[in-house]
Amino acid sequence: MRELTRSQEIGLALSCAVVTANAYYIHPIIGEVADHFGVGHSEIGIVPALNQIALAIGIFFLLPLGDRFSNRSLTILFVAGQTACLALMTLAEGFLLFTLGSTLLGFVTIAPYLLPAYASKRVPPERLGHVTALLTAGVIFGILVARVGAGVVTEYFGWRTVYWIATGAMAVTMLLLPRLMEGRASERTEATPYLALLSSLFALLKSHRAIVLSGVIQAFNFGAFIALWLGLALHLTSAEMGYGVDTVGYLAAIAAVSVISTPRLGQWADKVGPYRARAVFAVIQMAGLALFWPLGYSLWGLVVPLVLANLVGPGIDVAGRMTFLSLAPDLRTRLTTIYIVLMFTGGGLGSLLGTFSYDHFGWPGTCVLLLVMSGALTALSIESLKRQA
């Protein structure tokens, strides 16, 4: 198989953006969706939480198929599944059906994790960090567009319009992916039976213990990210602050710095090594998150910690993936499975704790939660660096 061209790399990054965005539209508009269905803030937290937990379950059972079947065919299949689930959410008239659609959407959201594995097999080792960071930047761009767009569109056209647009974007992506991803009918990578692939995950846990530590670090990183944006959406639209959902979206635009910084951070991680880079990023992120409490009651004050967190937060993920994507190609999809399952388990907990802490303790509760999670990931990142020394 030929190496990826520059246009293919960009196309795959944009595809990552579209297929990732679906889980994040609800973040700035969570209060509006709760009001529409007549549920409380703690109850609405179950929607993103089940989405993240279902994603972890889906990755565990479905992503290992990438080491047996064509990443191309699986990606197109699961993108079609995502499109159907989004259509269900768009048309849902009741809270239970909307939650069901969101949960099923999480279960089949496998494409964002098949795409980096596909790309890693088609780039030279010296460009792995750069291309991984490019696809990660695509993910960040998707999250950015989801949060900014959802807030603005909901403010003027209602939250359901957001999901109509998302469904259309997925349909277009489903049609374009066959042209972006080269593949042949014989592109199977293993003849290992499916159950053997699943059981092999436990053997990989024993033989690649560093992947567990990387996954736990990213679980805290991603959980803090989810808790921050759910808490921030509820905080800004509260009676105390008095802003609309469009303001949440405008603040989310700060994540644009990540689209620019992440590929450069990936290149720097190529030079200094992923373990050292991750430790540095973690310390900077913790310093940024610590500022949310004193600055969190000023709209302009929020900009400072948001910029710091968005500059380096994705770099922690890039460095974490680099610790195992340089290993044997036939193991990368299963190692990615372990990493992502741990990551989205953290995301599910962050969804529950983020809405719970705000509902019971307000913005200070959210800030304490962020400090605890960032402190844990920083300590683990430093410990991981020491083990590699």
pTM as predicted: 0.77
Evaluate whether 24 touches 147 at the Cβ level (below 8 Å): yes
Asked whether residue 294 is domain-assigned, the answer is yes
Asked whether residue 12 carries a pLDDT value surpassing 80, the answer given is yes
The CATH number of residue 355's host domain is 1.20.1250.20
- Give the tens place of pLDDT for each residue, 324-372: 776 766 677 778 888 888 998 998 999 889 989 998 899 999 999 999 9
Burial of residue 241, with CB atoms counted within 10 A of its CB: 0-12 exposed, 13-18 middle, 19 or more buried = middle
Region for 244 from its dihedrals, namely left if φ exceeds 0, alpha if ψ lies in -120 to 50, beta otherwise: beta
Asked whether residue 158 is domain-assigned, the answer is yes
Look at the chain and report how many structural domains it folds into: 1
Burial of residue 289, with CB atoms counted within 10 A of its CB: 0-12 exposed, 13-18 middle, 19 or more buried = buried
Asked whether residue 124 carries a pLDDT value surpassing 80, the answer given is no
Asked whether residue 240 is domain-assigned, the answer is yes
Asked whether residue 184 is domain-assigned, the answer is no
Evaluate whether 385 touches 276 at the Cβ level (below 8 Å): yes
- Give the tens place of pLDDT for each residue, 174-195: 998 988 887 654 455 556 677 8
Domain hosting 118: range is 6-179+194-388
